[in-house]
Amino acid sequence: MTAVETRPVGVAGPEPRQRPLRARLGGFFALTKPRIFELLIISTIPVMFLAQHGIPNLWLVLWVVIGGYLSAGGAASLNMYLDRDIDAQMARTSGRPIVTGVVSAREALWFGIALVAVSTVWLTLLVNPLSAGLALAAQLFYVFVYTIWLKRRTSQAVVWGGIAGCMPVLIGWTSVRNSLSWPAVVLFLVLFFWTPPHTWPLSMKVRDDYAKAGVPVLPVVATNRSVARQIVVYSWVMVLVSLALWPVAHTSPVYPVVAAVLGGTWMAEAYRLQSRAKSGVVGAKLKEMRLFHWSITYLTLLFIAVAIDPFL
């Protein structure tokens, strides 16, 4: 890790401890990237329904969700600590608490470490050691492999770094079964192949921000046409993998129909983006955020289908 600084990069103003308590608490909350909670809910709870083949123990659901949020929040805090120099240069992240000085870099570091420790103990005692181990592995992967090693070195960081974001699927499954099996692996792979075509459209939108900060995301080092082509490739694999859950998990015929309709809509949007990229349009006319927003809807509806299917 880089050296600890007691004052955020590029911040002039009162020390964090001199700021109002409400702002300070809000800053620590923001360190956990609370929007991660949405993805956590979407990718964890439906898998628990599938693993239980019905309604799982609701206390277990609560323990998993709380432990998962603490786990993801710890990794996010450490990510903001390590990326504070990048965040200060990017308009999209310039309001993060370390950059604005609401929380100091040292505080963010220890806060992240504390959340990692607490979440590991929480999941071990209230869920099971396997789920806790998977959560800890996700945290370590996100911090050391993605943030420290890959993010500033390769355009493929999003692809491989996405492994950490796929772990809630495995954690949800193992919390119920205390073991891994093929349905969990299939859903893990759906999320793995979903992550790049979900992330790259946003990166296309803010590529200048990434370029300014020296982060080599794919849209910075490749043309729109090349990025759109890779989006289509990953999208095809994602859709095909999503259909594999039908024979592997022995779902009802409803699931593959829903997956096919959602996947077809996704592919239509991906091909529209590729067509616009090929024609050379730039700026607002590229409409890359259409796919980004649809990707969230797609994942939500697909995993709702996963949760409902055991009752059909």
17-31, 187-201, 209-223 — which is least confidently predicted? 17-31
**CA 95 centroid distance within chain:** 20
pLDDT value at residue 37: 84
- pLDDT of 272 strictly over 50: yes
What pLDDT is stored for residue 284 in this prediction?
82
Rounded distance, CA 276 to CA 235, Å? Answer: 17
pLDDT tens by residue, 166-184: 999 999 999 999 999 999 9
Looking at residue 197, its pLDDT comes to 97
pLDDT tens for 133-162 read: 999 999 999 999 999 999 999 999 999 999
The whole-number average pLDDT for the span 56-76 is: 97
CA–CA distance, 155 with 199 (Å, rounded to integer):
12
pLDDT score at 2:
38
Provide the whole-model pTM. Answer: 0.91
Q: What is the distance between the alpha carbons of residues 41 and 44, in angstroms, rounded to a whole number? A: 5
Q: According to the model, what pLDDT value does residue 4 have?
A: 37
Which of 133, 131, 34, 142 has its CA nearest to residue 81?
142
* Residue-level pLDDT at 17: 61
The pLDDT of 45-52, averaged and rounded, is 97
Q: Please give the pLDDT value at position 7.
A: 42
pLDDT for 116 beyond 90 = yes
**Band (15; pLDDT cuts 50, 70, 90):** low
Cα-to-chain-centroid distance, residue 22: 27
The region, left, alpha or beta by phi > 0 then psi within -120 to 50, assigned to residue 10 is left
Say what the pLDDT of residue 11 is. Answer: 44
How many whole angstroms from its chain centre is CA 184?
A: 17
Does domain 22-178 fall under CATH 3.20.20? My reply is: no
Mean pLDDT of 264-290: 93
* Per-residue pLDDT at 258 exceeds 90: yes
Higher pLDDT, 17 or 252: 252
Closest to 188 in 3D by CA, of 159, 167, 161: 167
